[in-house]
Copies of this chain bind each other. A is one copy, B any other.
């Protein structure tokens, strides 16, 4: 390495170290980032004994999730008043069931299936990674999921959140800026002392526009094995995102937390 390049490299490392020491709060997206919605929902659909093969169960999970953004958009646009994810999930479920020949499911089965979103399994590194990151940071949630759903996920996955925040607290869905700025306001900190951790680059870029720092987590299996083949996940490094990590333990190592 040339002397000039070496100096630049050292300055860049020093700036990065200083920037890390300024970060106080890690705010986590949840669906896909902390928990495996695709695998968990596919499995729960399979366990209902409805006669669907594995591929069809995965298709139900994918279709259910596909309805998520359009449903939230109806709230964001004002077409719907404030509506929790639990209720949006149920509206989407009622819409898609006939497409899978399941229009005959009764109220009790629909209600029970809708609660599958409260029982999503965390990715294998999630709880250990959060414990490691807590040595140096406060960790909170910032998903669109509602508070009672998040409380159930935390208990189910033994996730050691310092605080469960949600779109429900701010009465705005991501990517509305009220959500990202809201985290900083709750902790009475400037936005650059908060870092969003997410497996979705659009979420991270919306947070960056509000002044937050950003960390991308790969989660290649978010959409199942087919999702990898179909190229549904962009796992490349993006220079506009501050950190890029395989999983939470990798992020903890990059941020200087004992793992």
Chain A residues near B (Cβ < 8 Å): 84, 86, 138, 140, 146-148, 150-151, 154-155, 162-165, 168-169, 186-188
Q: Which residues of B contact A146 (CB under 8 A)?
A: 186
Q: Which residues of B contact A165 (CB under 8 A)?
A: 147
Distance between A168 CB and nearest chain B CB, rounded to angstroms: 8
Complex Cα distance, B9 from A204, in Å, reads 61
Complex Cα distance, B147 from A138, in Å, reads 13
Q: Which residues of B contact A155 (CB under 8 A)?
A: 138, 162
Distance between A96 CB and nearest chain B CB, rounded to angstroms: 22
Distance between A32 CB and nearest chain B CB, rounded to angstroms: 22
Q: Please state if A163 and B151 are interface contacts (CB–CB under 8 Å).
A: yes
Q: Please state if B151 and A138 are interface contacts (CB–CB under 8 Å).
A: yes
The 10 closest A-B pairs by CB, nearest first: A151-B163, A151-B162, A148-B187, A147-B186, A169-B169, A148-B186, A163-B164, A155-B162, A147-B163, A148-B188
Complex Cα distance, B154 from A169, in Å, reads 19
Q: Please state if B147 and A151 are interface contacts (CB–CB under 8 Å).
A: no
Complex Cα distance, B169 from A165, in Å, reads 10
Q: A146-B186, A148-B188, A155-B162 are in contact. List 16 more A-B contacts (CB 8 A).
A: A84-B188, A86-B188, A138-B155, A140-B151, A147-B163, A147-B186, A148-B163, A148-B186, A148-B187, A150-B163, A151-B162, A151-B163, A154-B162, A163-B164, A168-B186, A169-B169
Q: Which residues of B contact A188 (CB under 8 A)?
A: 84, 86, 148
